[in-house]
Structure 1
Amino acid sequence: MDSRTAGEKPGLAKAAYGQHRGSPPMRYDLLDLRLFRHVVAARSITLGAERVHLALPSASARIKALEDSLGTPLLIRHARGVRPTPAGLTLERHARAILSRLEEMDQDLAGAVADSRTRVRLLGNGAAVMEHLDEPLADFLQAQPRVDVDVEESPSPRIVLALREGRADLGIFVAAPGLEDLQVRPFRDDPLVLVAAPGRLTCRDGEAVDFAGLLEQPFVGLSRGNALQLHVEAQAAQWGRELAIRIRVPSPIQACALVARGLGVAILPVASLVRAGQGLALASHPLRDAWARRELVCRDFNALSPAAVALLEVLVRAGREGVEAG
């Protein structure tokens, strides 16, 4: 929407969006808002500048001009990058809402001109995509014949970043510290458990275990790039170790079959084990580690499109019904 080049100075082609009491109206540049949103998401002025195709000196000057015009710092600079001040968080929240509304306007106008279909972008972590989305998505698409949904599996940290940068409408990811700037609604509990052949471990079936005590075991892993597998391997890396993965398979069904044959242990969501372990002799053990006790949450924007709001409500309802059924 902003046709200026990277070399132009801030302060041109302004759009008025607010006013301070007792002072002239503040005028905000759309490119400045895009830049600031990306800087906050990346926690880096350099990366933020790259994402809006600005040179670093130009980006720094724009942010400094914003701070001067508001009369307050927006970013705290430190050795590893930047973090927003309370005023910066407020500006980022409003910038995200304004830019989202502009994108929604573009989509609505395109639809009015070309009678185009509406598309909702949904990101989900491995457990959500594998176990929890088929039925609610089928119900939603049957009820919304003119809405299409793009579903992509991704690790939870990447989902959070994509939501902050506006590259997705909704995300289902693992609740974790550092989500204070996101609006979330509960989806469903889905803890991870260790799956093993009976008698493989010295503890009784159903007895809780510590992940650190499993690092000498051979593992049956899921495919490289699988979001859940990346999550588990990242926990091993926290102990300075790599999992001893004997084989990688595409699905929990295959993983359970191999675990039952005594080829190793696996870490899977409870929902996957219930479905994939039917008819197999398997022992399951809750993990004591905090990262295994997960609640999937989906983001709730203030300015979601009507189609995305409808999908959000379907997901929240499906999660609530899943908890009640459990």
Structure 2
Amino acid sequence: MSDELSASGLLNRLDLKTLRLFAAICEEGTLNGAARAAAIAPSAVSKRLAEMEQALGCLLLTREPRGMRPTPAGETLLHHTRRMLASAEQIALELAEHAKGVRGIVRMLANLSAIVQFLPEDLRAFQARHGAIKIDLEERPSGGVIRGVAEGAAEIGICSGSVAALDLRATPYRRDRLVLVMRREHPLAGCATIAFADALGYDFIGLHAQSSIYDSVRAEAQRIGRPLRLRVHVPGFDAVCRMVQADMGLGVVPEQVFGLIGGAMQLAAVPLTDPWAARALIIVTRPGTLSPAAGLLVAHLSPHAAS
């Protein structure tokens, strides 16, 4: 039998029900747990697993005192199983939307900077022209946006241009500038601009560890050779400004974000002069043809790069 025919035969035996059961075994760690999750008898789970291992010709799970653990082959199958199950679920959701009259759904990932600063108005303008297209938007850090688009979790991503785009197609979207946020009575509040190095003697509030802004701040402190006096990590820009308001330290946020949040908290912002503080946001897509709805959205977002 040729490799192609062999692969085809294996695929015919890997139905979604079996894959869902395999994922349940991995997640629950036991056959009994998977049986409860699937509402079937443990003996049926054991039989299905044995048949799958026989069909694939390799051991997928090892039995240990505390439960079951995937083998290297099992880890590979689990990785692809999760992607296939997510795709199957998305197919069902999108077809259900089509049944309701929605003519397109675009799955989109974006970092927090894009979601807070630019996407509300840009997406409102898009849907004013294309009201039959639904947008499924999820927030992720820039590195997560890249990985998500590369793995097929979304057709479109918007992230910081400082993150390696792997093999994705990158299109300019917007530009922003980072500012140093502080209380109005802070000694640096009277500066017209400031270099990041001149602020390193003070305490800082940091965004979460996966944030591209935090990566830039940490990398600059390391390049200068001075410690970053980080007092706390917080999940978002509003939390950064709130911590600054409570006199916990300085923060770094995009200038337009400060305009939306910081002013109401009676804070001050000073533009950073460092080159990395002038940032580009990019649109990332996988090589190849986009769906018609995604193509319309990329075409709508791309002209904003010039502005």
- TM-score, scaled relative to structure 1: 0.56
CA 180–161 in structure 1, closer or farther in 2 if over 3 Å, else same: closer
Q: Tell me the residue number matched to 2:117.
A: 131
Partner Cα distance (1:261, 1:112) in 2: 46
What one-letter code is carried by the residue in structure 1 that aligns with 2:231? I
Q: Tell me the residue number matched to 1:148.
A: 134
Partner Cα distance (1:138, 1:251) in 2: 22
CA 303–149 in structure 1, closer or farther in 2 if over 3 Å, else same: same
Q: Are 2:148 and 1:120 aligned?
A: no
Q: Tell me the residue number matched to 1:315.
A: 301
| Residue from 4, 12, 27 that aligns with 2:5 | 12
Q: Which runs of 5+ in 1 are unaligned?
A: 1-7, 16-28, 32-44, 54-101
Partner Cα distance (1:258, 1:110) in 2: 44
Return the offset for 1:266.
Answer: 0.9
Cα contact 2:107–2:156 (8 A) shared by 1: yes
CA 111–215 in structure 1, closer or farther in 2 if over 3 Å, else same: same
CA 47–294 in structure 1, closer or farther in 2 if over 3 Å, else same: farther
Q: Tell me the residue number matched to 1:86.
A: none
Return the offset for 1:182.
Answer: 1.7
Cα contact 1:217–1:244 (8 A) shared by 2: no
SS at match of 1:52: helix
Q: Are 2:263 and 1:278 aligned?
A: yes
Partner Cα distance (1:256, 1:316) in 2: 30
| Residue from 252, 275, 282 that aligns with 1:267 | 252
Partner Cα distance (2:112, 2:302) in 1: 18
Q: Tell me the residue number matched to 2:37.
A: none
Greater share of helix? 2
Cα contact 2:108–2:136 (8 A) shared by 1: yes
Q: Tell me the residue number matched to 1:196.
A: 182
Percent identity between matched residues is 23
Q: Which moved more, 1:242-251 or 1:268-277?
A: 242-251
Partner Cα distance (2:97, 2:243) in 1: 53
List aligned pairs for 1:161-180, cutoff 5 A: 161-176=147-162, 178-179=164-165
List aligned pairs for 1:85-100, cutoff 5 A: none
What is the aligned residue count? 237
Cα contact 1:187–1:298 (8 A) shared by 2: yes
CA 203–233 in structure 1, closer or farther in 2 if over 3 Å, else same: closer
Return the offset for 1:161.
Answer: 1.0
Q: Which runs of 5+ in 2 are unaligned?
A: 15-72, 82-86
CA 234–281 in structure 1, closer or farther in 2 if over 3 Å, else same: closer
Q: Tell me the residue number matched to 2:63.
A: none
- TM-score, scaled relative to structure 2: 0.59
What one-letter code is carried by the residue in structure 2 that aligns with 1:307? A
CA 284–52 in structure 1, closer or farther in 2 if over 3 Å, else same: same
After superposition, what is the alpha-carbon deviation per residue over 1:126-146, rounded to whole angstroms, capped at 9, x for unaligned?
A: 100111110111222233232
Cα contact 1:174–1:296 (8 A) shared by 2: yes
Cα contact 1:172–1:296 (8 A) shared by 2: yes
| Residue from 296, 299, 303 that aligns with 2:284 | 299
Partner Cα distance (2:249, 2:97) in 1: 56
Return the offset for 1:269.
Answer: 0.4
Q: RMSD across aligned C-alpha pairs, in angstroms? A: 4.5
Partner Cα distance (2:114, 2:162) in 1: 16
CA 242–51 in structure 1, closer or farther in 2 if over 3 Å, else same: farther
SS at match of 1:181: coil
